[in-house]
Amino acid sequence: MKILFIGGIKSGKSRLAEKRVLEMSKELKPVYLATTELLDLEMKERIAEHRQRRSDQFETIEEPLNLVEVLQNNQSPVLIECLTVWLNNAMHHQVSEEKIVEEIKSLLLLKCDIVFVLNEVGFGIIPDNALARKFADLSGKIAQLLGKACDEVNLCVAGLSVKLK
């Protein structure tokens, strides 16, 4: 099963996705695939908050770019937190759009259950610079790809989720 939780920043999507992947876990401890690179103090605080919340309920893998590579032999349910940060990492490391889309498609082909977290960036205005527009466009492309392919899609707002699919 592939599930998407999409919403704005601090919409509750991470907490709701964590709860969902824990519900999916039976005998195997779920994997928490953290994509954030520790770059500054503010991100360090966010990472610490997420680590504390998940405690020892998950096996944590920290990987900023090569998601399929670290999951290809995995059988446990997986939470990928989050694809928005992963996209930022990929763009920062100048990964091509083709390879970005290929990575998402390959994730969808993995046999394990995956819960994806993605920020909805399309509710705002069109960005005023080319890099931000490219990011928004790629994020929207990823969202549409996941929305079509996932078995379940949840939109998160104010700590609540509405099942779209």
| Active-site annotation holder among 13, 20, 50, 54 | 50
- Whether 152 and 16 have beta carbons less than 8 Å apart is answered as no
Helix (H) or strand (E) holding 45: helix 41-54
Q: What are phi and psi of 92, to 5 degrees?
A: -60, -40
Q: What separation, in Å, do the N-terminal and C-terminal C-alpha atoms of the chain show?
A: 13
- Whether 7 and 119 have beta carbons less than 8 Å apart is answered as yes
Q: Is 50 assigned a catalytic role?
A: yes
Half-sphere CA count of 108, side-chain side, radius 13 A: 18
- Whether 123 and 9 have beta carbons less than 8 Å apart is answered as no
Which active-site residues does the annotation give? 50
